Each structure stands twice: as structure tokens, then as C-alpha cells.
Structure 1
Amino acid sequence: MDEIQRLSDLLAANQRYEEQKQQRFQDDLAQWNASIEALYAQVGTWLKPLIDAEQTRFEYEPHLAQGKGYPDENSPFMTRRMSFFLGNHEVAFVPDAMGAKGQVSVSLAGVSLHGQEKYSLQLDPLRRDWLLKKTVGVKDSEPVAFTADHFGKLLQAVVPQRQG
């Protein structure tokens, strides 16, 4: 009977481990969503003068991020896609599936006039700030701090420069 009790103890320990693992995943998922929403709020604060002047507006739509382990509609990564327009030019923030230990990355499209460049934002887990990296274009770039000034310069590139 000792081996049956040992089996029972092993099963109970395994169940506790699986419950803890699921709780860690849920905690990471909550942090992932909170980080994305904080990024959106930060960008909204930066662009508030444009919103107040009715030069842009934000649009949000549901987004189901998919990853290797969650490739279909069963993905737990339900979030929102954020976009805004500068003239007729759309800039979109599209969250990627959560990485290891809650890693957050967001694809940033529409910050080049002809769409040849793509960027990604990654949340630095230690400093808790966002790093911007060009992922498609003439050449990949080293990550740089995602600041209001840097973002403003990127966005200026999508506004046609008129001489006159």
C-alpha cells in the first residue's frame, strides 16, 4: 500500500505544479495586456495635441494574437489593435503573442511613407521601457528608446513635405 500512497502523493504534487504553472501564465497574460494598454495610453498622451486639434483620432479593434503554441481562435491572447491616421496614412500597433515570461512585443506599421519599413516595439523587462527596432527595411537597426521625440520624427516622414 505504500506505493499506492506514493503514487497519490506524486499525483497531488503534479496537480499543484500544473495549477501553479497555469497561475503564472495567467499572471503573465494579465501583465502582458496591462503593458500593451499602458503603451497605448502613453502614445495617446504624446499625440493628445493632434487629437485636440482634430488632426487624428484613435481607433481600436479586437485582436487575437497568435503564436506557435496558439495558432488558432483558441489563442488566449485576446487584446486590441490600435491605429490612427495622419491624413490618409494609417499607423497601426498590432500586439504579437506573448513571449517567454510575459515578454511583450508590438508590430508598428505605417511609419514610412511607402510602407517599406516595419518596426517592432519590445518592452525591456528590466527597465520597463519600450525599445524600438526596425525589422524590415534597408537594414535592421539596433534598438533605441521609444520616446515622444523619436516617434514624432518617425511620423513626420509620413507627411508629404510641400515646398511653397
Structure 2
Amino acid sequence: MDDVQQLGEMLRHYAESEVHKKQLFESQSAEWATRIGELFDQIQQWLAPVLAPHLLEVSREAYVASGPSAPVETSTFKTEKLSILIAGKPVDFVPDVMGVGGLISVAVTGFTGARVGSVSLVCLPPATSWQWRKTNGLKDPDTFAFDANFLAQQLQSLIPRDRS
């Protein structure tokens, strides 16, 4: 095989791998958006029995996830964010750009009392369960299974206590 033929062969392999990468990215992106929608549907179902105007409200709005690798102007990660207003305190579930291997993470704001730290929900397909991750500084994150009771406990912590 001469160098020109080898160049042609290399280009063909490259084109095939790029098509494969694009297809994989598109299928993972679709899964990412579907899983976030299902998570938000589930949270709304869990909280439906206790919704009350001005006490507990849930809303969703269109959102484009962005990050260093996907600026908001060109991001293909179109989804929604979910907001909970409980006793006047906002809690937002904001999707991050899809990570390596289809990693799905949702930043959760409104819970961290410490100056450093964050809370997120994480799901790494093919797993279907979500985990609540609380990080604080450099130590390993605290990880909990995320379900209706766990969410309820977290939201209870935001309700002011009567100190009388």
C-alpha cells in the first residue's frame, strides 16, 4: 500500500469513528434529557400530596445546560430546571452538561449551610437510580439513595422551627 492509499484508509477510519462518536453522543444526550424529565416528574409526584400555595410550590422551566465545553450559545443540552419554594426558601434542581459515559448530574441549590460544599443528584447510566451527593471541602462526598422519604427529610430541614 502506498502512502496515498494509506492516507485514504486513515481518513475513512477517522470518518467512521467520528460518525460513531456523534451517534453515541446523540443517543446519550437523548437519554440524559429523558432521565432528567423522569426525575423531575417523580419529584413532582412525590410532592403532589403536600403542595400548598405559598408553603410548598413546584415549578419547571426550560433551561439550557452549559459549561466550559458547551457554552450556552452553542449548547445542545436543552432541558428544564425544577424549582421548589418551601416556606419562602428556594430549592433549585439545575442539570449540568452531560458528563463522560452519559453521566447525569443535577446541581441542587438551597441546602448547603456550610460555606464550602455542594449538593447534587447523580446517575451514571446504565444505572437507573439517583444518588444524593453532598460534598464538603476535600473529603469524599456523602452519598445517599434518593427517594421520596429522603427528599422529604431534606425539605423538612428548611422549615423554620418554632422556638417558643
Same structural fold, with TM-score higher than 0.5 when normalized by the shorter chain: yes
Following superposition, the deviation at residue 16 of structure 1 comes to 1.5
Provide, for residues 76-107 of structure 1, a one-character-per-residue CA deviation record: whole Å limited to 9, x for no partner: 22221110211211111011111101100111
Tell me what 1:12 maps to: 12
Pairs aligned (count) = 161
| Distance in 1 separating the partners of 2:12 and 2:37 | 38
Alignment of 1:97-108 (within 5 A): 97-108=97-108
Q: Shift in Å at residue 61 of structure 1?
A: 2.2
The answer to whether the 8 Å contact 1:119/1:134 transfers is: yes
Cα deviations by residue, 1:47-100 (Å, 9 ceiling, x for unpaired): 01023x544332222222223322342122222111021121111101111110
Task: Report the Cα distance in structure 1 between the residues aligned to 2:9 and 2:136, rounded to whole angstroms.
Answer: 52
2:29–2:98 CA contact under 8 A, matched in 1: yes
Amino acid of the structure 2 residue aligned with 1:74: T
Q: Provide the C-alpha distance between the structure 1 equivalents of 2:18 and 2:89, rounded to a whole number of angstroms.
A: 47
The aligned counterpart of 1:50 is 50
The answer to whether the Cα contact below 8 Å between 2:95 and 2:107 also exists between their aligned partners in 1 is: yes
**C-alpha distance 11-140 of structure 1, shift in aligned 2 (>3 A):** closer
Q: Secondary structure at the match of 2:31?
A: helix
Q: Where does residue 152 of structure 1 map in the other structure?
A: 152
Counterparts of residues 5-154 of structure 1 (less than 5 Å): 5-51=5-51, 53-54=52-53, 55-111=55-111, 118-136=118-136, 141-154=141-154
Q: Which amino acid aligns with 1:108?
A: V
Give the counterpart letter for 1:134 in structure 2: K
Gaps of 5+ in 1: none
Q: Report the TM-score, using the length of structure 1 for normalisation.
A: 0.84
Q: Give the CA deviation at 1:127.
A: 3.5
Question: Aligned partners of 1:4, 1:12: CA distance in 2, in Å?
Answer: 12
Stretches of structure 2 lacking an aligned partner (at least 5 in a row): none
Give 1:124 deviation, angstroms: 4.1
- Amino acid of the residue matched to residue 100 of structure 2? A
Distance (Å, rounded) in 2 between the aligned partners of 1:22 and 1:11: 16
Question: Closer, same or farther in 2 for the Cα pair 1:156/1:115, shift >3 Å?
Answer: farther
Seen in structure 2, the aligned counterparts of structure 1 residues 36 and 21 have a Cα distance that, compared at 3 Å, is same
* Distance in structure 2 (CA, Å) of the matches to 1:131 and 1:17: 33
1:6 Cα deviation after fit: 3.8
- Identity among equivalent positions (%) equals 33
